[in-house]
Amino acid sequence: MHNVVVITTGGTISTKRTPQWSGAVPMLKGDDFSAMLPRGEFNVSFQDFTNLPSSHITPTMALDLAQRVNSQLLGEADGVVVTHGTDTLEESAFLCDLLIDSNKPVIFTGSMRIATDIGYDGVTNLTGAIRAAASPQTRGLGVMVAFNDRLFSAATVQKIDSQTVDAFDAPGFGPIGSLTGATVRIHHQPSGRHYIPCSRLAERVDLIYATQGADDRQLRAAIDTNSQGIVIAAFGGGRVPPWWLPTIQEALNKRIPVVVTTRCLKGICYDEYGYVGEYHDLKRLGVMFAQQLSPVKARIKLMVALGAAAHPQELRDWFAE
């Protein structure tokens, strides 16, 4: 029987309503989850990392979480499951994917309904995640997310629905596997994983969305407050308002790295236009492109890469197209 360690962090999966609070709050811990699981199927141990809504979790906390996960993988655990709030689950999972270099599976999961709701999906998702972590099928696939009987790569998964139990998908990529009862099936292998050895993060990285008619105040604020890096969620295939270009150039001149990705749900940065502010203008300025990463994941990757890079070229290599 495989040894699986479950690390709990809070989130909706751990919340319940009580008379003492006006709404549901994280309360359940490892012992509570253990009592809900099927008996005799797993050799599972639980560790409580924290008990917070994921809107309260910071990248630095996620770094500590990655180090805790890695310490378990270096021990006797055959796989690790992390329970996590869904709001920032994709960010924590991707940060762990960048920082952990192991063939052993790491599976994030959570729930959309609280433990005192009818139709609570926490037990189903947790059971599926443990089965995935114990399966030889998931070895060597990096960090994954198990949700609603589907498995996703941490690099491509996104929360796409704020309410339903089918809250996660991977636009443009789809799930890498499925969970049917006790059977784990892998449909395709994730590609293009990057391992970045890192023990600290650059925390002051700003994410700025290009919006119709927006001026450059957010870019200017990032420069003036000594941002360590800027991520731009650009229009379409990598375009920005033309009046942003001088400010982006100023940031680069001040050695503030600028990374560009698309604000679209899928697709890459590339176009063949010749007007001002298009992809080739940004490329000529010297920005880096986070191809096939959502804006929030591009920010996480830049935070990690800046924390690890010994020199500018090493940083650029991690964003090479």
Across the chain, mean pLDDT equals 96
Q: Known binder of ligand: residue 87?
A: yes
Q: Known binder of ligand: residue 86?
A: yes
- pLDDT, residue 321, reads 74
User: pTM of the predicted model, to two decimals?
Assistant: 0.96
- pLDDT, residue 40, reads 79
Residues 6+ apart with CB under 8 A from 253: none
- Which CATH class name applies to 3-186? alpha beta
Residues 6+ apart with CB under 8 A from 168: 86, 90, 145, 147, 148, 150, 152, 157, 158, 159, 160
Q: How far apart are CA 207 and CA 317, in angstroms?
A: 21
Distance of alpha carbon 44 from the chain centroid? 25
Q: Known binder of ligand: residue 45?
A: no
The CATH number for 205-319, chosen from 3.40.50.40, 2.40.430.10, 3.40.50.620, 3.20.20.70, is 3.40.50.40
Give 260's strand partners.
232, 289
Tokens of 291: 């191809």
Distance between first and last Cα of the chain: 42
Q: Do domains 3-186 and 205-319 have the same CATH topology?
A: yes
- Domain parsing of the chain, residue ranges: 3-186, 205-319
- pLDDT, residue 22, reads 80
Q: What pLDDT digit, counting tens, does each position of 133-172 carry?
A: 999 999 999 999 999 999 999 999 999 999 999 999 999 9
Residues catalogued as catalytic: 12, 86
User: Given its phi and psi angles, is residue 281 left (phi above 0), alpha (psi -120 to 50 degrees) or beta?
Assistant: alpha
Residues of the chain with pLDDT under 70: 1
Q: What pLDDT digit, counting tens, does each position of 103-137 carry?
A: 999 999 999 999 999 999 999 999 999 999 999 99
- pLDDT, residue 18, reads 80
Give DSSP secondary structure letters for 52-73.
E-GGG--HHHHHHHHHHHHHHH
